[in-house]
Chains A and B, each alone.
Chain A
Amino acid sequence: MKFSLSWLKDHLDTDADIHAVANAMTMAGLEVEDIHDPAKLLKPFTVAKVISAAQHPNADRLQVLQVDTVDGRKEIVCGAPNARAGLTTIYAPIGAYVPGLDVTLVEKPVRGVVSNGMMCSASELQLSDESDGILELSDDLAVGTPAAVVFGAEPVIDFEVTPNRPDWLGVHGIARDLAAAGLGAFKDKAIEPVKGTFPSPISVKVDGDACPYFSGRVIRGVTNGPSPKWLQDKLTSIGLKPISTLVDITNYLSFDRARPLHVYDVKKLSGNVIEAVVGKDWRILWHYNGIPITGSPPARLFDALDGSKYILTPDMCVIADTENGKLRPIGIGGIMGGMSTGVSDDTTDVFLECAWFDPIRTAQTGRDTKITSDALYRFARGVDPESVVPGLELATRLILDLCGGEASDIVVEGAPPARRADVTFDPAYVGQLTGLEVPYEQIETILTALGFGVTKGTPWTVSVPSFRRDVDGKADLVEEVARIYGFNKIPSTPLPTVAPKNGGVLTPQQARARTARRALAAFGYSEAVTWSFMRQDWAKLFGGGDDTLVLANPIASELNCMRPSVLPNLLEAAGRNAAKGFAGAQLFEIGPVYFGDEPNDQKTVISAIKAPAKTRHWSAVGEDALFALKSDLIRLLEEINVPVASLQLVQGSNTAHWHPGRSARLQLGPKQVLAEFGELHPSVLKTLDLDGAYVGFEIRLDLLPQPKAKSGKSKGALTISNLMPLTRDFAFVAEDALVAGDLVRAIKGADKALISDAQVFDIYTGAGVAEGHKSVAVEVTLTPQDKTLTDADIEAVSQKIIAAAQKAGATLRS
């Protein structure tokens, strides 16, 4: 919402400048978005007169003007078609900042002719959004008159009103708060009722909760037409378009008093009752253009004043008159009137409506019809119910003053909804909740200034004004006092000290995620944070994409489904980087995946990918990306205290998005799969529009076993042998299908006390090894525990190793 400083001064007697007002608003709880001070922007611009206009020698569409300006006679090049001798317009000197163009003028030749300034259009001065050519001003204006004087430009504040304060949607309500805050005196003039001179020929009917309170009156003999300048200036200062006096008056009161009204042309009304109706099936009841239609959709369309047609439903509060004995919709209550009964310049008799519409129903109708209107905005938040009759009187007075005519008696049906209950209030609660020490007299002064009624006693009883339907308890009153007294006076008070928790505040899983983040960063992966949602078809490729996880209102169709895996996002990001010329991205993310919509269906994963890169190095050393990734995965698991040695590596049973022959899982049994890793499936990569081999892993943080905390933080005793370890090499022959990891595990198990390690150091196929077989060379490390090994000891353990290998399907190569 916006208002100009002079508009505020209609209701607040103050000397404060625009910045002081904005500051006071901020500190009272109104969020100021912008202070628009056109006078400041218009400062360099002044009135000038074009003396002569000649064709530019080098350009068809340009003219060279001689202009009398505040700086004397100037030669100016101008492209506006309306530039002509004798025109009075606005001149911008060299050095001026032109707000509409966002440029500062410099002296430079235009097609060979130096232009010593510029002639301005309304849009260049930000006086209007559009303009045809340069401004055409009254010839009475003297050269050098400041533009700010010509346009009567005054500062405007643009601000946001929180939904709890509908009373702030009128300048009058804001003035009340600013006065309470000490910015000036509130001009709360009593509204004088206008005495009717005849009974209203039109009566009104209400309908329960949807429109419990409805008033109106007829005013006959009015003259409609353009509104007076002061009213037009007010409306244009806040960006509203003047339409006609009658409409401008209702718009003015919407912004001045947060009090929407509506005027009907009496001659266009049918029957003598206007009623608010809820729950009617308009398909059956409504005649469209005089033709009774039932059923088919066009019959339900209502021609609203915004030029659009809307479908009426039984849930809406519809304003109707009666035509041919049947109800005819003439407005959507509190939202918008209809074309059929709107006022025009020919209007002579009007019915003025002032009612109260239920906020929830009004808001819902607004959402259903997608209409936005200033009336809807106010009724949805809650207009002061007790402003119905005063609002009617105020509007009547303005209409009589500006349009003439005579007013009927008022007709009123229903009653305003009850006020909020009185609040039992102990003023000490202000201090208890805020730490502020506000004298009780001041608490009373503030509440009274804001319109509350204070009855002192033990405790106090505070009555709530009708326009403050947001206040329903003592905490609300504390807020009123605190914001007016000043949030800046709240004393900064140290929290009572609480000793930090022994062992830190992170859960083991949080601590693991934190270590994993830093480890992966150290391993050379860049952490990404990507959306929790992705395309449903991609989610399906990665084992998710269930309809229950699809958003009803996604921000974009490719972000419509909660992700079952982080990998697609990282892959897509790597692809995006590659497309920009930065191949080989190594990315990771630690974040949520969603297997369902229940709280426990959300799990945290650690995901990482490596994109293919054409790395060339002078030394020609390279490493296999897949095994480099495996190394990173194992090191990462070690860093976060996962007992890597006891994990099973299973190949061939990964989920479908992995390359079946180049991926594996790490598990503690088939039901506890901790991680999957490897190369992504080529067809998945194709769908994601990625070239080359992408590798990655995804770890389920929640499934990782917790290290046993038997002995607290102690790492236990270290047992190390003083004896030198020794190594022996073995070469085995086995079928190609033999998994090297199984052979190594068998060998390690041959003598757990003595064998401390076994590593494959060569795989060989070819001459000397039978077809379909391979030779696997293993270096076994023996670590003697209590005595040096004799040849016989070594021979004995060697035999155990050979036997274990045999059992695993590998024969000692002879």
Chain B
Amino acid sequence: MSDYSALQTEIEAEIAAASDLTALDAVRVSALGKTGRISGLLKTLGALPPEERKATGAAINAVRDQVQAALDARKDVLEAEHLTKRLESERVDLSLPSAPRAKGGVHPTMQVMDEMIAIFADMGFEVAEGPDIEDDFHNFTALNFPEKHPAREMHDTFFFNPGADGTRKLLRTHTSPVQIRTMISGKPPFRLIVPGRVFRNDSDQTHTPMFHQIEGLVIDKTIHMGHLKWVFDTFIARFFETDKVITQFRPHHFPFTEPSAEMDVRYTRNGNELKIGDGDKWMEILGSGMVHPNVLTACGIDPNEYQGFAFGMGVDRLAMLKYGVPDLRDMFAADTRWLNHYGFSGFSAPNSASGLS
């Protein structure tokens, strides 16, 4: 018996001394492997007299089981140690920066354009478009601008050089020519908006030689100015997403509408920030009115049967007011710092479920 306990002690010492899983496996093989020491003892059983075999066998098996148990226990310890070491070795400094990825964004004017389209789409408006390079007929004459009238001059029009036939093209000064194109080619009723670029030879804090308008046109048999006012009230409330907006709806003059009106929004400028809701300044955001009977007639529509309103809103100015942009000119400067500050995530597409912005 002492032979076995000595062997067991020896092996258990070896197990305890095994410093890693490879060493431990070597001990296992030398003890329990095919030619291992305990396996060797078991092989001697067959040579023993039958009466000794049982007791001897039991004793060897007990040693084997205890060695196995010691091996397993040591293995658990070594595996745990190994894992700890691995985890230690795999540590990285996550404070290091990830690979740089540029932050993109949607331009505030375009974001606002999408917001406006979302609002008007909900009100049943369709979207039409027209060319930036226009002729005198669509930009002025059909819109009831008298020839050579000061009202034409006030538009600060960009002209091209006269062509061979003496006529000169121009850059549209408003999106209203699309009203004409739509009414000439279609049949009433109409309920549409026209987003697009417009051009005026002018530049200061709230004027740029190019800016964006959304034109609106509603023509049917009983449309009146009260409807126009409702569209603005509804639009302003939905667009600004606040009830702090103070507006002013006042008479004005446009050759192509009669009666005509403009709407202003009250704002204040604090250094580099523009805020709506207080202050003593008005920013004009839209011109509007009942489509002039002469315009309807020019488009082949009987003004005694149909009537309606048109409006033109300054998209960039609405963006300035809503998002506090102090200077219109920056909108077109493509300064990346400005674009990052005032831009919008590509994923924030305006929709009426989550709010517009």
Contact = CB atoms under 8 A, between A and B. Distances in A.
B100 A435 contact: no
Interface centre among B96, B100, B191, B331 (most CB of A within 10 A): B100
Contact of B123 (A495, A552, A590): A495
A546 B278 CA distance: 49
B96 A475 contact: no
Nearest to A504: B121
B102 A586 contact: yes
Interface in B236-289: 248-253, 255, 258-262
A522 B147 contact: no
Contacts of A165: 253
Contacts of A216: none
A163 B150 contact: yes
Given A164-B151, A517-B106, A524-B103, A555 B252 contact: no
A498 B124 contact: yes
A435 B209 contact: no
A505 B347 contact: no
Nearest to A491: B226
A132 interface: no
B332 interface: yes
Interface in B322-340: 331-337, 339-340
A433 B290 contact: yes
B107 interface: yes
B161 interface: yes
Name A's interface SS: mixed
Contact of A525 (B102, B160, B201, B209): B102
Contacts of A505: 117, 121, 125-127
B117 A479 contact: no
Nearest to A27: B250
A675 interface: no
A757 interface: no
Nearest to A622: B99
Contact of A500 (B122, B226, B248, B307): B122
Contact of A493 (B163, B230, B334): B230
Contact of B346 (A479, A520, A584): A520
A163 B151 CA distance: 6
Nearest to A507: B127
A532 B102 contact: no
Interface in B127-170: 127, 129-133, 147-151, 153-154, 158-161, 163, 168-169
B281 to A, nearest CB: 11
A531 B201 CA distance: 13
Interface stretch (A240-248, A592-600, A793-801): A592-600
Contacts of A501: 124, 126
B75 interface: no
Interface in A744-771: none
A475 B150 contact: no
B100 A617 contact: yes
Contacts of A602: 131-133
B96 to A, nearest CB: 6
A582 interface: yes
B53 interface: no
B97 A617 contact: yes
B29 interface: no
A551 B158 contact: yes
A497 B125 CA distance: 11
Nearest to A471: B258
A714 interface: no
A267 interface: no
B107 A528 contact: yes
B20 interface: no
A519 B258 CA distance: 43
A363 B343 CA distance: 45
Contacts of B105: 521, 526-527
A529 B126 contact: no
A29 B249 CA distance: 10
A435 B154 contact: no
Interface string B90-106: 00000011011111111
A432 B307 CA distance: 9
B2 to A, nearest CB: 61
B253 A27 contact: no
B209 to A, nearest CB: 4
A174 B231 CA distance: 31
B225 interface: yes
Contacts of B102: 524-526, 584, 586
Contacts of A570: 334
Nearest to B339: A526
Contacts of B37: none
Nearest to B159: A552
Contact of B110 (A162, A527, A592): A527
Interface in A487-506: 487-488, 490-501, 504-506
Contacts of A380: 150
Interface string A530-542: 1111000000000
Given A506-B127, A526-B343, A550 B133 contact: no
B250 A29 contact: yes
B99 A617 contact: yes
A497 B124 CA distance: 8
B251 A28 contact: yes
B229 A367 contact: no
Nearest to B131: A599
B233 interface: yes
B211 to A, nearest CB: 10
A134 interface: no
A399 interface: no
Interface in B275-320: 290, 292-294, 307
Contacts of A324: none
B210 interface: yes
Interface string B162-194: 010000110100000000000000000001000
Instruction: Choose among A162, A380, A473, A562 the residue with the greatest number of B CB atoms under 10 Å from its CB.
Output: A162
A530 B227 contact: no
Contact of A488 (B130, B249, B332): B249
Contact of B160 (A549, A573, A584): A549
A528 B99 CA distance: 25
B94 to A, nearest CB: 12
B109 interface: yes
A381 interface: yes
Interface string A512-524: 0010011111111
B114 interface: yes
Contact of A495 (B148, B227, B349): B227
Interface in A610-642: 615, 617-619, 621
A354 interface: no
A559 to B, nearest CB: 7
A507 B114 CA distance: 14
A518 to B, nearest CB: 4
Contacts of A479: 251, 258-260
Interface string B38-70: 000000000000000000000000000000000
Contacts of A577: 334-336
28 contacts: A31-B262, A163-B253, A164-B255, A360-B147, A360-B149, A432-B222, A432-B224, A433-B259, A434-B225, A483-B251, A490-B225, A492-B229, A498-B124, A505-B121, A520-B346, A521-B346, A522-B104, A527-B107, A529-B334, A530-B332, A548-B160, A548-B163, A550-B160, A552-B159, A553-B201, A555-B209, A569-B334, A617-B100
Given A29-B250, A490-B229, A554-B158, 10 more contacts: A163-B151, A435-B224, A505-B125, A505-B127, A519-B346, A526-B340, A552-B168, A576-B333, A576-B334, A598-B131
The 4 lowest CB-CB distance pairs between A and B, nearest first, are: A435-B226, A521-B346, A498-B124, A493-B226
Interface of B: 96-97, 99-107, 109-110, 114, 117, 121-127, 129-133, 147-151, 153-154, 158-161, 163, 168-169, 171, 191, 197, 199, 201-203, 209-210, 218, 220, 222-227, 229-231, 233, 248-253, 255, 258-262, 290, 292-294, 307, 331-337, 339-340, 343-347, 349
